[in-house]
């Protein structure tokens, strides 16, 4: 090889012996099996630089990883190593963008033209919806999203959903839709996301010319986060590496967290079968975390039965004990996190802090607590709570309940979930209102009377107007949280999500549960609906730019491969981590335990584990037992904060939500007098200023020590006398 562009001595100086061996082993198959923070990704980036330093053409180097963020990170690290000498770049990418690159060159071999379109999730949904309509399938039972998800699963499991036909009603429908779906994509010269993996694989397996080209072109192939590749991805790299056999894969079986997407840890072990001459390198030194953090991580993961034992050591200092904070509830949890960040950020930038949770819905209290203190944050890989579709939908319903003339809210929800009210009908009604200068509420009624719509559309719109009328009525009778719960049922919104049965729908349901939890705060507030809507509309991001010094909020899944000096893991309870859906299988529980391990091992210096005693769950306060993973941690590694008697200077916990409704029905109404000291489960202590109204509409005005004046409806109020 000709002289390189970099000084290899310098490059190798920053590596330990095992890493150096891995970096300099550039021919033949290589398996690097090593724990978190041991420098696996560092080996890949140094190996790329080393190859180039040895004069290898960057074009023949391919490094694949899992997420765009990881690919970006890798690119930056290589760029840094190569400094000025960065000329042509090696191929660093995700599996999907690599697949796209292959198809842009060879899709014509499969009958596509090279300018094909790529359909994303929402495009796919539109296609499936149309097919269901065309086939006259009951789309309440077979929802487009449900069918789409079933197609994806079947494709991963057996390659061809067409073969599902034998498996009952669902199988038959899915198989039939899939046939039409393929035809549609073909006709429109389009591919979907899964095709970006499956079609290149097909080419590699069946098209000699393409196989030959790819095998020749990529002399060196590397795969990071190898434990999370699925079978078709594994087959792609295996075939591509058949000729040169310079395939280097790095992974950690303790960090396999994507089996729900078809990833299979066994691929790691298959590697040694398919490449028997493979050299295996193990890295045992962790450079990322303190001794204490590393030990905590090991104690958690070692209880898994389906693992190969490996234990990391580190030369890093022992560090602080891990802090376990036991919060009273999710608000206390969020406040604790925010106040700790405030305190610690006097000495370090906000970019040092990350907060991890299991499900997206858990970010809401955290976002609010940070926003209240003016601490900038970014939510990675997800939308902020109030920007989420389902939250916006429900808030739109509430706006329409509150104000029948709200045109935007009407447009948003009139056909969500689908009621067969099309855009044409909506346009006609709005046009009718405009021409008659009628506000929407009145215009709708007149339009329905006047017969400006065809009878089917008229009937559907009529039911919607009746439904909204009923809801308006109910909103006056019920506390807000109960009302939203009722609204989700009456509108069919919840049912539509439940029937979808996808992971995404599950997460939407969780967000709605969270929204009801927020609403509980307004249950006994006069004009609670109005205040609630305002809060949702005002909860706009502090800083959309995503740049600058900020705290990072993300799910445990998206934290893979990253590292932060200070990490908070919240929601360390049974039902959250491990997640409720995984409690009934050993494999599921072990995957959750690995996820917990992934979270812990992101921390470099300080780790906080936070759990709460109780949480609002669909507006009701429920106790959650501590996560079983906490039991694995030896006492001496942990410092417990909070939770003890007398610690939180906060009002005592009393029943909230529906539970509270029940207790109200039983007890005799309390009489409030000016000057009475009272306590409210959410607003805390305060003093009664006076009452107004009588009977059902009796209200009490209270000035709270912390949040100021509130007018509460006595019928719903959860006030107690202080003391």
416 — phi, psi (to 5°)?
A: -130, 110
Q: Does 93 bind Mg ion (CB under 5 A)?
A: no
Closest CB to ligand ATP belongs to which residue? Answer: 39
Catalytic residue among 45, 143, 227, 255: 255
Q: Which residue has the tokens 């489960």?
A: 681
Give me the catalytic one of 192, 195, 224, 605. Answer: 224
Least distance in Å: CB of 683 to ligand ATP?
Answer: 43
- Between vectors from CA 391 to CA 715 and to CA 457, what angle results, nearest 5°? 95
Q: Is 148 or 556 the residue whose CB approaches ligand ATP more closely?
A: 556
Taking contact as CB under 5 A, which single stretch among the options 39-47, 227-235, 313-321, 337-345 is the one that binds Mg ion?
39-47
Shortest Å, Cβ 78 to Mg ion = 14
611's enclosing H/E stretch is strand 603-612
Residue range at the interface with ligand ATP (CB under 6 A); choices 12-20, 305-313, 379-387, 505-513? 12-20
β-bridge mates for residue 357, sequence order: 555
Nearer to ligand ATP, 40 or 219 (CB): 40
Chain centroid to Cα 648, Å, comes to 31
Q: How far apart are alpha carbons 197 and 152 in whole angstroms?
A: 12
Candidates 254-262, 416-424, 560-568, 591-599: pick the segment binding Mg ion (CB under 5 A): 560-568
**Among 11, 23, 30, 39, which residue interacts with ligand ATP (rule: CB under 6 A)?**
39
Q: How far apart are CA 57 and CA 51, in angstroms?
A: 8
**Residues in region 578-607 near ligand ATP by CB under 6 A:** 601
HSE, CB side, 13 Å, CA atoms: give it for residue 169. 4
Closer residue to Mg ion (CB): 152 or 561: 561
**Cα–Cα distance for residue pair 201/221, rounded to 1 Å:** 16
Task: Choose, by CB under 5 A, the member of 11, 30, 31, 41 that binds Mg ion.
Answer: 41
621: three-class secondary structure by DSSP: strand
* Residues 126-155 within binding reach of Mg ion (CB under 5 A): none
CA distance 232 to 391: 36
Q: How many chain residues bind ligand ATP (CB under 6 A)?
A: 19
List, in sequence order, every beta strand (DSSP E) within 45-193.
61-65, 91-94, 117-119, 190-192
Determine the interface stretch with ligand ATP among 14-22, 172-180, 182-190, 540-548 (rule: CB under 6 A).
14-22
CB under 6 A: which stretch of 36-44, 85-93, 264-272, 353-361 binds ligand ATP? 36-44
Q: What is the dihedral of CA 395, 401, 407, 412, to 10 degrees?
A: 40
Q: Catalytic annotation on 472?
A: no
Under the binding rule (CB under 6 A), the answer on residue 359 touching ligand ATP is no
Q: Identify the bridge partners of residue 313 per DSSP, sorted by sequence position.
A: 285
Q: Does 58 bind ligand ATP (CB under 6 A)?
A: no
Cis upstream peptide for 417 (omega within 30°): yes
Per-residue contact string for residues 261-300; x = within reach of ligand ATP by CB under 6 A: --------------------------xx------------
Closest CA to 606 of 367, 337, 368: 337
Stretch that binds Mg ion, among 32-40, 92-100, 339-347, 680-688 (CB under 5 A): 32-40
Terminal CA-CA length for the chain: 84
Shortest Å distance, C-beta 254 to ligand ATP: 9
* The only residue of 192, 195, 252, 605 in contact with ligand ATP, by rule CB under 6 A: 252
State yes or no: residue 323 binds ligand ATP (CB under 6 A): no
The C-alpha atoms of residue 110 and residue 97 are separated, in whole angstroms, by: 18
Distance in angstroms (rounded) separating the CA atoms of residues 183 and 201: 20
Query: Using the rule CB under 6 A, which residue among 8, 16, 25, 291 binds ligand ATP?
Result: 16
* Alpha-helical regions (H) of 311-362: 330-344
Minimum CB separation from Mg ion for residue 609, in Å? 23
- Count, residues near Mg ion per rule CB under 5 A: 3
Catalytic member of 20, 358, 593, 602? 602
Which position among 561, 578, 657, 686 is part of the footprint of Mg ion (CB under 5 A)? 561
CB nearer to ligand ATP: give 39 or 479.
Answer: 39
**Options 225, 252, 485, 592, the catalytic residue:** 225
- 3-state SS class at 214: helix
Residue 618: which of 515, 499, 486 has the closest Cα? 515
192's CB contacts (< 8 A; 6+ apart) are 118, 119, 120, 123, 124, 185
Q: Do 252 and 36 contact (CB within 8 A), yes or no?
A: yes
39 binds Mg ion (CB under 5 A): no
Catalytic (active site) residue 224: yes
d(CA 288, CA 319): 12
State yes or no: residue 45 binds Mg ion (CB under 5 A).
no
Does the annotation mark 602 as catalytic?
yes
> Of residues 22, 40, 93, 197, which one binds ligand ATP by CB under 6 A?
40
Q: Is 15 in the site for ligand ATP (CB under 6 A)?
A: yes
Instruction: For 364-425, give the secondary structure using H, E and C.
Output: HHHHHHHHHCCCCEEECCCCCHHHCHHHHHHHHHHHHHHCCCCHHHHHHHCCCCCCCCCHHH
| Pattern 522-561, ligand ATP, x by CB under 6 A | ---------------------------------------x
Beta strand spans in 275-370 (E): 279-283, 322-327, 353-357
225 in catalytic set: yes
Contact with ligand ATP (CB under 6 A) among 18, 30, 33, 38: 38
Q: Are 353 and 363 in contact (CB under 8 A)?
A: no
The residue from 19, 20, 40, 362 that is catalytic is 40
For the CB of residue 42, give the shortest distance to Mg ion in the complex, in Å: 8
Residue 657 touches Mg ion, criterion: CB under 5 A = no
Q: Taking Cα atoms as reference points, which of 158, 205, 149 lies closest to residue 177?
A: 149
Q: Compute CA distances 327 → 338, 355, 402, 631, whole Å.
A: 13, 16, 36, 17
Stretch of 32-40, 202-210, 384-392, 655-663 contacting ligand ATP, by CB under 6 A: 32-40
CB of 90 or CB of 561, closer to Mg ion? 561
Q: Which is nearer to ligand ATP, 599 or 657 (CB)?
A: 599
Nearer to ligand ATP, 595 or 717 (CB): 595
- For residue 29, state whether it binds Mg ion (rule: CB under 5 A): no
Burial annotation 342-368 (CB, 10 A radius, 16+ → b, else e): eebbeeeebebbbbbbbbbbbbbbbbb
Q: Which helix (H) or strand (E) holds 518?
A: helix 503-520
Site string for Mg ion, 504-543 (x = CB under 5 A): ----------------------------------------
Distances (CA, A) of 595 to 140, 577, 591: 35, 9, 6
Under rule CB under 6 A, residue 248 binds ligand ATP: no
Decide: is 236 part of the binding site for ligand ATP (CB under 6 A). Answer: no
Residues in 320-349 that interact with Mg ion by CB under 5 A: none
Single out the segment in contact with ligand ATP by CB under 6 A; choices: 34-42, 55-63, 172-180, 466-474.
34-42
- Collapsing DSSP to helix, strand or coil, 515 comes out as helix
Residue of 18, 23, 36, 81 interacting with ligand ATP (CB under 6 A): 36
Give the separation between CA 223 and CA 381, rounded to whole angstroms. Answer: 22
Name the site residues for Mg ion (rule: CB under 5 A).
40-41, 561
Name the site residues for ligand ATP (rule: CB under 6 A).
14-16, 19, 34, 36-42, 252, 255, 287-288, 561, 563, 601
The set of catalytic residues is 40-41, 224-225, 255, 602
């Amino acid at each position: 090889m000709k002289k390189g562009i970099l000084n290899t001595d310098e490059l190798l100086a920053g590596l330990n012996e095992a890493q150096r061996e891995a970096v300099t082993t550039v021919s033949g198959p290589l398996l690097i099996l090593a724990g978190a923070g041991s420098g696996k990704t560092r080996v890949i980036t140094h190996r790329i630089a080393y190859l180039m330093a040895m004069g290898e053409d960057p074009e023949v180097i391919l490094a694949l990883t899992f997420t765009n963020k990881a690919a970006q990170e890798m690119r930056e690290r290589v760029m840094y190593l190569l400094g000025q000498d960065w000329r042509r770049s090696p191929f660093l990418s995700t599996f999907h963008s690599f697949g796209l690159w292959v198809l842009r060159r060879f899709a014509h071999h499969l009958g596509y033209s090279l300018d094909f379109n790529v359909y994303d999730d929402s495009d796919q949904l539109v296609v499936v919806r149309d097919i269901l309509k065309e086939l006259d399938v009951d789309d309440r039972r077979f929802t487009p999203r449900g069918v789409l998800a079933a197609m994806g699963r079947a494709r991963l499991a057996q390659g061809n959903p067409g073969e599902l036909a034998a498996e009952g009603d669902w199988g038959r429908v899915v198989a039939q839709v899939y046939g039409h779906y393929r035809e549609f994509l073909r006709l429109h010269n389009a591919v979907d996301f899964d095709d970006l993996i499956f079609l290149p694989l097909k080419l590699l397996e069946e098209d000699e010319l393409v196989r030959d080209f790819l095998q020749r072109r990529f002399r060196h192939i590397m795969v990071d986060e190898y434990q999370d590749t699925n079978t078709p991805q594994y087959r792609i790299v295996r075939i591509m590496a058949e000729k040169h056999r310079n395939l280097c894969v790095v992974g950690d079986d303790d960090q396999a967290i994507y089996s729900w997407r078809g990833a299979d840890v066994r691929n790691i072990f298959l590697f040694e079968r398919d490449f028997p001459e493979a050299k295996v390198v193990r890295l045992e030194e962790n450079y990322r975390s303190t001794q204490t953090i590393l030990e905590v991580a090991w104690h958690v993961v070692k209880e898994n039965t389906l693992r190969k034992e490996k234990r990391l050591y580190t030369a890093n200092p022992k560090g602080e004990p891990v802090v376990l904070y036991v919060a009273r509830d999710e608000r206390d949890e969020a406040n604790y996190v925010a106040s700790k960040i405030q305190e610690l950020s006097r000495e370090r930038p906000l970019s040092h802090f990350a907060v991890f949770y299991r499900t997206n819905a858990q970010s809401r209290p955290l976002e609010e607590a940070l926003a209240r203190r003016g601490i900038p944050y970014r939510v990675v890989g997800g939308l902020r709570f109030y920007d989420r579709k389902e939250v916006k939908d429900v808030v739109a319903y509430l706006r329409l309940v509150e104000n029948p003339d709200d045109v935007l809210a009407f447009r948003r929800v009139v056909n969500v979930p689908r009621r067969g009210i099309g855009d044409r009908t909506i346009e006609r009604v709005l046009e009718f209102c405009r021409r008659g200068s009628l506000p929407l509420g009145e215009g709708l009624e007149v339009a329905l009377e006047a017969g400006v719509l065809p009878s089917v559309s008229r009937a559907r719109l009529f039911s919607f107007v009746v439904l909204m009328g009923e809801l308006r009525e109910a909103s006056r009778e019920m506390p807000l949280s109960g009302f939203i719960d009722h609204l989700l049922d009456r509108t069919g919104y919840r049912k539509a999500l439940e029937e979808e049965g996808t992971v995404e729908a599950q997460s939407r349901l969780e967000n709605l549960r969270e929204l009801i939890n927020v609403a509980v705060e307004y249950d006994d507030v006069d004009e609670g609906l109005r205040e609630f809507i305002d809060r949702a509309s005002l909860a706009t991001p502090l800083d959309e730019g995503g740049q600058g010094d900020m705290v990072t909020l993300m799910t445990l899944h998206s934290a893979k491969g990253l590292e932060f000096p200070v990490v908070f893991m919240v929601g360390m309870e049974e039902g959250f981590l491990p997640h409720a859906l995984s409690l009934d299988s050993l494999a599921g529980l072990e995957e959750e335990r690995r996820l917990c391990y992934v979270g812990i091992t992101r921390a470099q210096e300080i780790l906080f584990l936070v759990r709460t005693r109780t949480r609002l769950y669909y507006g009701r306060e429920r106790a959650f037992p501590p996560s079983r993973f906490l039991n694995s941690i030896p006492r001496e590694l942990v410092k417990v904060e909070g939770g003890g008697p007398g610690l939180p200077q906060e009002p005592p916990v009393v029943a909230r939500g529906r539970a509270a409704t029940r207790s109200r029905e039983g007890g005799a109404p309390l009489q409030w007098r000016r000057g009475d000291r009272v306590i409210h489960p959410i607003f805390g202590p305060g003093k009664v200023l006076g009452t107004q109204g009588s009977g059902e509409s009796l209200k009490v005005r209270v000035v709270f020590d912390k949040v100021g004046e509130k007018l509460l409806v006595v019928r719903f109020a959860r006030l107690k006398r202080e003391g």
